[in-house]
Amino acid sequence: MVFIEKLKKAELALSVDDVYLAPGLAEVDPQAVDLSTRFSTRVKLLIPLASSPMDTVTEFEMAVAMALLGGIGVVHRNMEIEKQVEIVKKVKEHPPIRTRVLYVEPDTPCGRVLEVMRDAGVRSMPVVSGGRVKGYVHYSEVKAVCRSGLEHPEPKPGEVFSIARLGEAKKLLLEGRLDAVALANFDGVYISTLVYRDVMEETLPAVDESGRLVIAAAISPFDRARALALDRYADALVADVAHFHNAEVLRVSRHLVKELSSDFIVGNIASRRAVEDIASQLDKVDGFRVGLGGGSICTTPEVAGVYIPTLYAVAEVRDAAESLNLKAPVIGDGGIRTPGDIVKVLAAGASVAMVGHMLAGTDEASAPLIAIGNKLYKPYRGMASEGAMVKRFAVDRYARISKKVAEGVEGLVEYKGSIYTFMSKIIEAVKAGFGYVGARNIDELWRKALFIAAKRGGVGVITQT
C-alpha cells in the first residue's frame, strides 16, 4: 500500500528537453545583453560558463582560453598534486590577452620564414635564439632577401615588451607599425607573441583583483594535501565528488574549509536536503555545483537508478539556498548541450553553466586529436569511467577507492576547431535567448523568464545541405 502510494506520488522533475522559455517584451538589443555573473562568492565572470574538471577537457590551454573568453576553467584532479599546482600557477602568470608562441630562429631558411609568416597571417615576426629576442623580420624585406639569394634574413632591432607593458604593446600593434610583437618576462626571456588580429578580436577576460586570469581547481575533500597545495593559488577550489551529500564527505569538509582561503564550491548536490545539511555543517560555502547523473558520459542512472535532471536540481537548490539566505551562486552541471540549454539552466536559477561535452572537441581541450578515415575526433570520457579511474589510482596511490563499478563511459567527439571561434557563436546565441525573454542581464532573466512545458512538434524533417 505504502509502496504504491510512493509511486503515485512520484514528483514531476522537468529537464531541459521538457521545457522552453516563453518570449517576453524585447526592449534590448541582444548585442547589448550583459552576461556577467558570479562563479563563487568572490570570483566574477563576464560570461556564465565554466569548463568541467575532466581529464579530456580542462588543463592549461582550456583554462587560459576560458578565462580569456570571460569564463573560467576548472583544472581536473586526475594528475599528481604538483602538476595541478603548476598548471594553476602558469594560468596566473599568463598575460590576460591571447598570445601565441610564434617566432623564427636566426638560421631559419628564407623560404621557410615567408611560409611561417603567411601561415600566421603576419607581416612582422620576432626572431628568437636561446630564449632571447634578437629582433624582428619584416615580410617585404624577407622577400627581397630571398630574391637576392641570401640564406637568412637579418633581424632588425625592435622593442620587446614585458607583461607590465602590455598596454603599450597593444598600442604599437593598433598603430600598425608592427603586426606581431614579442613579450618577455622580467629577465628578458621570450614568453610569447602578441598578434594584431588577436588584439582586434580581443574579448574581455575574467580576472582577479590583481588583473590576473581567474582559475579554479578540482579537489576531493578527502585529499587535504592537494587542497592545501592549491589553496591561495586557485581562486576557487571545486569539490569533485559524485554525491557530496554524504555524511563522511560532510564531516571531512567541515574540517577542511576551516583551513582554506580560496573560495570553496561544494558539489555535486541535487536536493534541498543537501543544501540544508551543508548549511548547518559547513562554515564556508562559496558556490553550489549542482547536477547528479545528467552528464553526457554519465551512466549513474543506468548503474544506480539515480538521476535528477540538472534543470530541476538547479531550481530546487537555488530556492533552498535563498530560503536559508545563502548568497552562494549555483552552477548547473551535466547534460547542457546547446546554447538554448544554457539559457534554460540560467533561467532556472543558475549563475553559471558547467560544460564538458560541449568543449571536448575543441583545440584547447586536453585530449589529443585523432584521425579516423578522413574525419577528426577528440576522446572524451567520464571521470568515473574505467579508463579515468585506472589513471587516477596510477597517479595518486592515496586516492580513496570509492567506486568499484564504473559510472561513466569513454568515447570520441567530433573535432570542433578553435574554442575562440566556437565560443563566439555560443555567446551570440545565449545573448539572443536573453533578448527573446526581454532580459538585459542575468538578474532580469531570473525575474522575467517564464517556462512552458512543451515538446517540439510539427517540425518537418529536412535534409541539411
Give the active site residues.
298, 397
Indicate which single residue of 71, 287, 295, 379 sits in contact with ligand XMP (rule: CB under 6 A).
Answer: 295
* Residue among 314, 348, 308 nearest 453 (CA): 348
Distance, in Å, from the CA atom of 126 to the CA atom of 114, rounded to the nearest integer, reads: 13
- Is residue 287 near ligand XMP by the rule CB under 6 A? no
Site track 122-161 with ligand XMP (rule: CB under 6 A), x = hit: ----------------------------------------
Indicate which single residue of 180, 298, 317, 365 sits in contact with ligand XMP (rule: CB under 6 A).
Answer: 298
Minimum Å distance from CB 360 to ligand XMP? 7
Between 96 and 291, whose beta carbon lies closer to ligand XMP?
Answer: 291
- Is residue 296 near ligand XMP by the rule CB under 6 A? yes
Sign, CA torsion 445/451/455/460? negative
Indicate which single residue of 52, 124, 192, 362 sits in contact with ligand XMP (rule: CB under 6 A).
Answer: 52
Minimum Å distance from CB 66 to ligand XMP? 13
Total of chain residues touching ligand XMP, rule CB under 6 A: 26
- Is residue 407 near ligand XMP by the rule CB under 6 A? yes
Over the range 168-182, which residues count as b (16 or more CB within 10 Å of their CB) and which as e?
ebbebbeeeebbbbb
Indicate which single residue of 117, 354, 413, 449 sits in contact with ligand XMP (rule: CB under 6 A).
Answer: 354
Minimum Å distance from CB 80 to ligand XMP? 20
| Cβ pair 72, 44 in contact under 8 A | no
- Is residue 334 near ligand XMP by the rule CB under 6 A? yes
Touching ligand XMP, residues 216-245 (CB under 6 A) = 242
Give the orientation angle of helix 60-68 with respect to helix 81-93, to 10 degrees.
30
End-to-end CA distance of the chain: 56
Angle in degrees, CA 416, 73, 18, rounded to 5: 65
- DSSP per-residue codes, 159-199: -EEEGGGHHHHHHHHHHTS-SEEEEE-TT-BEEEEEEHHHH
Minimum Å distance from CB 268 to ligand XMP? 6
- Is residue 56 near ligand XMP by the rule CB under 6 A? no
Strand pairing category for 132-138 and 410-414: unpaired
Distance, in Å, from the CA atom of 151 to the CA atom of 193, rounded to the nearest integer, reads: 24
Touching ligand XMP, residues 376-405 (CB under 6 A) = 382-385
Distance, in Å, from the CA atom of 216 to the CA atom of 235, rounded to the nearest integer, reads: 6
- Is residue 297 near ligand XMP by the rule CB under 6 A? yes
- Is residue 357 near ligand XMP by the rule CB under 6 A? yes
Q: Which residue has the cell 631558411?
A: 109
Residues forming contacts to ligand XMP in the complex (CB under 6 A) are 52, 54, 242, 268, 291, 293, 295-298, 300, 333-336, 354-358, 382-385, 407-408
